[in-house]
């Protein structure tokens, strides 16, 4: 009896630290470590470059006088202006000068490093809303970031659990068709899957954007995540096609205008059934597709007034819906029989892929980023030298005229 009490006491003392740890640990911080590392988001490489910081008021005055005289502001001046921002208030004020430069004769010469610097400054001074605003209005402000900058923006939103904001950035990646970098693919899939996990109420426009993003990034991944994303992406686009017509699908979107997106979704299921040994489809995604087909069936039964929006080709595609539904049921049964349905959600599948892949991608990205910064700096120094030579030439000409 004494021994049993002693054993129980020892066991209790051993378990107490574990219980304390389980109470104190922040599991959200563990999830965060599956995203970009501190080395990736560190500003050291960027901050170590040679800067040409100047008084912001003097730069603003210089640009104002230059525009008043109908002369173009140089890319170096707007670049210095962005680099010299030092507060949230100054970031807000900079929007005016970005707009003015974009609508000036030199609009095509906003340098890549200035675009990168702008988004860095927005993140640094808590102006992420301003970063997103100028990104969404990229034509008005000339903000077309590279993949590395996109990654920093997506990661920033995800880490603050703003998945809708992260998806807004992913939308811009999709519109620019910039899913070439594996890290961008993983971050985009993470944002999309986490946002879907909140079960948001999406408008048809948002469904189209979500579908296009899932489809295009899914086509870059030859694994369970990629095929599950493709399936859901094609299905969401197919829902828009059958309810509003093919023109609503491809208008201002990087999508083909050929009808049959639901047929392409079923082709993904068929490919997994027939050819792909190690690929499974997420059960959650399958359920989502089934729900989409059910909603479309109700529309087809006359519970929607959108028929007037559909032309003959769209009506013919809608007539295929019963065939699509039967085909889906057949393929689902085959997938279940072949054990090719993964019980995990899309978010869980993406999280597993992130843990396996992202760290390796980061090393390659950082090496390329360092080279890019060096190239940017070399080009900037050449422009500074050219600017210096031009000023000296102009000064000599003025002195010569005064001597005459």
- Report the predicted TM-score, pTM, of the whole model to 2 decimal places: 0.86
Q: What pLDDT digit, counting tens, does each position of 252-284 carry?
A: 888 888 889 999 999 999 999 987 778 999 999
d(CA 86, CA 89): 8
The number of helices, as runs of H, and strands, as runs of E, in the chain is 21, 2
Q: What pLDDT digit, counting tens, does each position of 363-380 carry?
A: 999 999 999 999 999 999
CA of 76: how far to CAs of 97, 106, 112, 163, 380, in Å?
13, 11, 12, 35, 8
Per-residue pLDDT band at 11 (split at 50, 70, 90): very low
Per-residue pLDDT band at 14 (split at 50, 70, 90): very low
Mean pLDDT of all residues in 152-175: 96
143 sits in the region (left: phi over 0; alpha: psi -120 to 50; else beta) called beta
Residues 6+ apart with CB under 8 A from 401: none
Phi, psi of 4 (to 5 degrees): -65, -40
Positive or negative, the Cα torsion across 345, 280, 334, 294? positive
The answer to whether the CB of 342 falls within 8 A of the CB of 336 is: no
């Amino acid at each position: 009896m004494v021994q049993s009490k002693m054993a129980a006491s020892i066991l209790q003392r051993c378990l107490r630290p574990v219980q304390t740890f389980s109470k104190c640990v922040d599991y959200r911080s563990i999830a965060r470590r599956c995203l970009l590392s501190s080395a990736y988001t560190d500003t050291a490489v960027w901050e170590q470059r040679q800067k040409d910081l100047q008084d912001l008021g003097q730069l603003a005055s210089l640009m104002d006088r230059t525009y008043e005289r109908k002369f173009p502001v140089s890319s170096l001046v707007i670049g210095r202006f962005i680099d010299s921002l030092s507060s949230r208030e100054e970031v807000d004020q900079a929007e005016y000068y970005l707009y003015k430069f974009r609508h000036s004769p030199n609009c095509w010469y906003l340098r890549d490093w200035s675009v990168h610097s702008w988004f860095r400054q927005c993140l640094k001074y808590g102006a992420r809303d301003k970063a997103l605003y100028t990104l969404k209005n990229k034509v008005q402000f000339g903000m077309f970031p590279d993949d590395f900058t996109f990654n920093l923006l997506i990661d920033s939103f995800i880490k603050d659990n703003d998945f809708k904001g992260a998806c807004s950035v992913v939308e811009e990646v999709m519109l620019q068709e910039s899913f070439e970098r594996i890290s961008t693919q993983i971050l985009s899939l993470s944002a999309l899957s986490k946002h879907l996990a909140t079960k948001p109420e999406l408008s048809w426009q948002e469904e189209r954007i979500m579908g296009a993003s899932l489809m295009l990034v899914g086509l870059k991944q030859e694994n369970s995540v990629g095929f599950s994303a493709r399936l859901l992406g094609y299905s969401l686009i197919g829902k828009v096609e059958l309810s509003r017509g093919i023109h609503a699908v491809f208008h201002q979107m990087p999508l083909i205008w050929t009808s049959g997106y639901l047929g392409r979704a079923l082709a993904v299921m068929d490919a997994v059934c027939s050819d792909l040994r190690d690929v499974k489809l997420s059960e959650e995604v399958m359920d989502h597709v089934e729900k989409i087909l059910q909603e479309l069936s109700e529309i087809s039964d006359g519970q929607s007034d959108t028929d007037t929006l559909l032309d003959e080709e769209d009506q013919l595609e809608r007539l295929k819906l019963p065939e699509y539904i039967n085909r889906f049921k057949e393929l689902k049964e085959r997938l279940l029989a072949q054990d090719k349905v993964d019980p995990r959600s899309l978010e869980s599948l993406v999280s597993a892929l992130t843990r396996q892949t992202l760290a390796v991608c980061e090393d390659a990205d950082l090496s390329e980023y360092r080279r890019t910064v060096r190239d940017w700096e070399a080009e900037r120094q050449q422009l500074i030298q050219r600017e210096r030579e031009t000023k000296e030439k102009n000064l000599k000409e003025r002195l010569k005229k005064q001597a005459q």
